[in-house]
Amino acid sequence: MTIPGRDVRAAFRLVGRSVRLPGGEGRSVRVGDVVLKPTGPDPEFAEWLGDIMASVVADGFRVARPLRATTGAWSHDGWTASHIVAGVEPDHAAAPRWGEIIAAGRAFHRALAHVPRPGFLDRRSDWWATGDRVAWQEQDPDLLPAVRAPYEALISLFGPKPQARPQLVHGDLTGNVLVAPGLAPAVIDFSPYWRPPAFGEAVVVADALIWHGAGPGLLHEAVSANGPDAVAYVARALVFRLVTTNERLRENPTERSRAAIAEIRRYEDTARLLAAIAPRPGG
């Protein structure tokens, strides 16, 4: 991993050595109370994100406020900087906090409801963008044989396309909400998508079911809070994640292991769980 050089630290007025941070994609470093992250391939996104995170009104959540470089830009030589926020990712195995994550996301989405759709979303072509477009039937999937059965089971639960107003939503809240005693949850690593807010919440439920061993109780809570349409949103969220997995396995055939097979089976099991509580036509 590349470590930011002295010129990058100077551009953000940072003093001290760079220390790699664990977690995420392993690309972030800490200098004092500031985190430096690579901008990625789209510099427009880095500047847009800096404007958003600097101006968003935090009510019911916290965010990591960005630092401007001495040039006035939000990035310098391929790096961005932001203040560290206190908190840790919840240990859901010990004490699930899905409701708090969903509530934090809901507050975050309310604060972004006025922001117009950014043009860079149309240029995205990564695994996650593909998964999102397939989940909303804007792109046909290129599926591996092992993925077709759970995919077909899940899309059968979509129903009509939701008419809810789309807006900017965080599409990866699950591991990016930090909690700390006495503080509002911190929403970090904004992954923007242009979808109804209910989709961002559904991704949390889908992740909890697939990756964190959450039982049907969480799904029933989602239906109780959001009505029967919650099933269709969760089905789309599961397709979003399933197709992302499919893209990863297509590009990296060596990962097609027992673990990958077990992951796909979890999607099949969750599809059956969703089907069992889905509203019946005319019911």
pLDDT at 45: 93
Residue among 215, 282, 274, 213 nearest 239 (CA)? 274
Which tokens is 93 given? 């195995």
Q: Residue 63 — φ and ψ, nearest 5°?
A: -135, 165
pLDDT at 181: 96
pLDDT at 282: 55
pLDDT at 97: 94
Give the span between the Cα atoms of 89 and 280, in whole angstroms.
37
pTM > 0.75? yes
Q: How far apart are the first and last CA of the chain?
A: 55
pLDDT at 253: 78
Give the span between the Cα atoms of 91 and 88, in whole angstroms.
9
pLDDT at 156: 96
Residue 102: Cβ-neighbour burial (10 angstroms; 0-12, 13-18, 19+): buried
Beta bridge partner(s), residue 179? 88
pLDDT at 227: 86
pLDDT at 270: 95
pLDDT at 17: 85
> Splitting the chain (283 residues) into consecutive groups of 10 residues, what average pLDDT does each group show?
86 90 76 92 91 97 97 95 96 93 97 96 94 98 95 96 95 96 96 97 96 90 88 97 94 78 92 88 56
Give the span between the Cα atoms of 275 and 231, in whole angstroms.
8
pLDDT at 188: 95
Q: What is the dihedral of CA 157, 255, 207, 161, to 10 degrees?
A: -30
